A and B are shown apart, each in its own frame.
Chain A
Amino acid sequence: MELLNTLVLLANFVFVPAIAYGSQLALGALGVTLIYGILRFSNFAHGDTMAFGTMVTVLVTWLLQSLGVSLGPLPTALLALPFGIAVTAALVLWTDRVVYKFYRKQKAKPVILVIVSMGVMFVMNGLVRFIIGPDDQRFADGERFIIGARDFKKMTGLDEGLAIKTSQGLTVVTAVLVVAALFWFLNHTRTGKSMRAYSDNEDLALLSGINPERVVAVTWILVAALATVAGVLYGLDKSFKPFTYFQLLLPIFASAIVGGLGSPLGAIAGGFVIAFSEVTITYAWKKAAGYILPESLAPDGLLQLLAVDYKFAVSFVILVVVLLFKPTGLFKGKSV
């Protein structure tokens, strides 16, 4: 009984949130890794691309809600998602046309592109704050929980409840579908194969007649879709606030680098590594230890390794450790 209670407690406060957060990070890191693999720079504007896509989705969600459209138990944001993706794709394609293309033609060094992407980041940042404002926006509707804590307790008779939010279930299902679709696209379609060829060896790909502008455009569209999906899922799970999305940049970069930049599989693994370490290190283990340990050994403190405010620091420390001991990441990404 004690053991079951501990497991449920951990599932409720560690596994479920970490899996949902990890899926969101993985989707974000996939976008970063695609840009890195094909355009060969670290895109600092990714967090704000996520914020922009989410903002469009939020606005369309509000419109649909005011029209009385809903998906029943599922959040209306799912209906708005395609609009968000379309507008974001248009924005990043336009950004590529007016900004990145110029530097690509010049064969600018990656670090120049990094700075350019920081400029794009600030512009997008301002755009989002200008349109929707810097405040918290809630746009989740529909059923709140798949299983509520009270129902779970009644069902199983345990002392601990397990609550799974709709947004968390939705995150995992969507992430699996999106990742499967992405891998199918990269491995089985002509365009996907040409993208991988371009990523592996640019000159060889150009020689074999791959149109670089087309590869770049498809990449940006994929990145816009991934960023919007990740941003909307994060927003449904927590809430939408532009500054939080800027801060997500750090764990997303950490996930992409830990997994190995340029490796899509690595980005997913990295996302979960970062999410699980952030959650386990900032979780207060007191109650779990109280169940497992005998009463005389029960701890006085919270057994929290680090305060929650340091969770971004955790992802960065992991990043540094990986950079020191395995500079190409867990999945042999591009060498540094």
Chain B
Amino acid sequence: MNDTVKTTALFGLVAVLILGTGFFQSWNSALGILNMGLISAIMAMGVNLQWGFAGLFNVGIMGFVGLGGLATVLVSMPPVPAAWAAGGVSIWVALLVGALSLAAVILVRSRMPQGNLRAVVTWVLLIAGFAIYRSLFDPARDAIEKVNPALEGYLGGLGLPVLLAWPVGGLLAAGAAWIIGKTALGLRSDYLAIATLGIAEIIIAIMKNEDWLARGVKNVNGLPRPLPYEIDLQADPSFVEKAASFGLDQ
């Protein structure tokens, strides 16, 4: 049996199994399995490209997947004006201050000559930057999380079309990948595996705990879809008519 026949037969077997689920159990679970299978296939293609072509073993796929999910919320959900009024600007100012102090530290370390003075300046910058960042960040975060905590309590997204979440999620994941690359590429392959696992766990920890960003472990309901919701389809007479003409009306 050559490869083509074997591949076709295996795909055929999977198709038969999915159809079997549909006929003997329910079409909902059959579609669910198909859906999950396709999503896993896309993730597996990513691993395959990275490991197969580049030889880099990445254990942190779940972190990148999580960033894609985060991008969907940040891009497509409507903004929460009350939360923005409560502390939206100051939280971003706080993050900017944090980033600037890190940038200052990097600048100092590359420009100043090595010695005690550089160490002192580095530590002062780090500690002062962190203190200012926390003093700006904490009240803003608390204020945002107090806004209608049952449903919102987060800044919301940009209210843009959901399809934009794909490139944005890609950019976020690329940013994370750049950090991993900076630290762990060029080390042994085992270290890359541990580093990717670690960064993925950190990303997941941040997304779970920073409620102001995307509600942490609570659900964000009603993400917009590029296609209509089921309930809208059922309410749409022309769709129902078309479905009936296929003989699907039961």
* A-to-B contact residues, CB < 8 Å: 41-42, 44, 109-111, 114-115, 118, 247, 249-250, 253-254, 257, 301, 305, 307, 309-310, 312-313, 316, 319-320, 323-324, 327, 336
CB of B143, distance to nearest CB on chain A (Å) = 15
* C-alpha spacing A309/B211, complex, angstroms: 13
A41 touching B190, Cβ below 8 Å = yes
A336 touching B208, Cβ below 8 Å = no
Total inter-chain residue pairs, C-beta < 8 Å: 65
CB of B213, distance to nearest CB on chain A (Å) = 14
Given contacts A110-B190, A111-B189, A307-B209, contact A320 B195 (CB under 8 A): yes
* C-alpha spacing A293/B215, complex, angstroms: 37
Cβ of B243 within 8 Å of any chain A Cβ, yes or no, is no
Partner of A110, one of B189, B198, B201, B209: B189
Nearest A residue to B57 via CB reads A111
B183 touching A320, Cβ below 8 Å = yes
Chain B residues near A110 (CB-CB < 8 A) = 188-190
A336 touching B201, Cβ below 8 Å = no
B191 touching A336, Cβ below 8 Å = yes
B189 touching A324, Cβ below 8 Å = no
B202 touching A316, Cβ below 8 Å = yes
Chain A residues near B209 (CB-CB < 8 A) = 307, 309-310
B194 touching A253, Cβ below 8 Å = yes
Main secondary structure of the interface of A (DSSP, over half): helix
B190 touching A114, Cβ below 8 Å = yes
A250 touching B201, Cβ below 8 Å = yes
14 interchain pairs, CB-CB under 8 A: A111-B190, A111-B193, A114-B57, A114-B193, A250-B197, A253-B194, A257-B191, A309-B205, A312-B201, A313-B201, A319-B194, A319-B198, A323-B183, A336-B191
Chain B residues near A310 (CB-CB < 8 A) = 205, 209
* C-alpha spacing A265/B199, complex, angstroms: 27
Chain B contact residue count (CB 8 A cutoff): 24
Given contacts A42-B193, A114-B57, contact A312 B187 (CB under 8 A): no
A336 touching B188, Cβ below 8 Å = yes
Chain B residues near A313 (CB-CB < 8 A) = 201-202, 205-206
CB of A270, distance to nearest CB on chain B (Å) = 13
CB of A209, distance to nearest CB on chain B (Å) = 30
Give residues 41-73 of B contacting A (CB, 8 Å): 57, 59
Known A109-B189, A316-B201; 5 more pairs at CB < 8 Å? A114-B190, A309-B209, A312-B202, A323-B183, A336-B188
Chain B residues near A109 (CB-CB < 8 A) = 189
* C-alpha spacing A312/B200, complex, angstroms: 11
B187 touching A42, Cβ below 8 Å = no
Nearest B residue to A115 via CB reads B57
* B-to-A contact residues, CB < 8 Å: 57, 59, 130, 134, 138, 183-184, 187-191, 193-195, 197-199, 201-202, 205-206, 208-209
Chain B residues near A115 (CB-CB < 8 A) = 57
A257 touching B205, Cβ below 8 Å = no
Chain A residues near B205 (CB-CB < 8 A) = 309-310, 312-313
Nearest B residue to A113 via CB reads B190
A327 touching B187, Cβ below 8 Å = yes
CB of B177, distance to nearest CB on chain A (Å) = 15
* C-alpha spacing A140/B199, complex, angstroms: 34
A316 touching B199, Cβ below 8 Å = yes
Given contacts A114-B57, A316-B202, contact A323 B193 (CB under 8 A): no
Nearest A residue to B180 via CB reads A320
* C-alpha spacing A316/B191, complex, angstroms: 12
B198 touching A250, Cβ below 8 Å = yes
Partner of B183, one of A44, A307, A324: A324
CB of A118, distance to nearest CB on chain B (Å) = 7
Chain B residues near A254 (CB-CB < 8 A) = 198
Nearest B residue to A40 via CB reads B190
B194 touching A336, Cβ below 8 Å = no
A309 touching B208, Cβ below 8 Å = yes
Given contacts A307-B209, A323-B183, A323-B184, contact A301 B189 (CB under 8 A): no
Chain B residues near A309 (CB-CB < 8 A) = 205, 208-209
B187 touching A336, Cβ below 8 Å = yes
Chain A residues near B188 (CB-CB < 8 A) = 110, 336
CB of A315, distance to nearest CB on chain B (Å) = 8
CB of A162, distance to nearest CB on chain B (Å) = 29
* C-alpha spacing A118/B194, complex, angstroms: 12
* C-alpha spacing A114/B194, complex, angstroms: 10
Nearest B residue to A36 via CB reads B190
B138 touching A114, Cβ below 8 Å = no
Chain A residues near B208 (CB-CB < 8 A) = 309
Nearest A residue to B189 via CB reads A111
* C-alpha spacing A310/B204, complex, angstroms: 10
Nearest B residue to A320 via CB reads B183
* C-alpha spacing A254/B191, complex, angstroms: 10
Nearest A residue to B197 via CB reads A250
CB of A107, distance to nearest CB on chain B (Å) = 15
Nearest B residue to A324 via CB reads B183
CB of B167, distance to nearest CB on chain A (Å) = 27
Chain B residues near A320 (CB-CB < 8 A) = 183, 195, 198
Nearest A residue to B188 via CB reads A336
* C-alpha spacing A316/B187, complex, angstroms: 16
Nearest A residue to B182 via CB reads A324
Chain B residues near A118 (CB-CB < 8 A) = 59
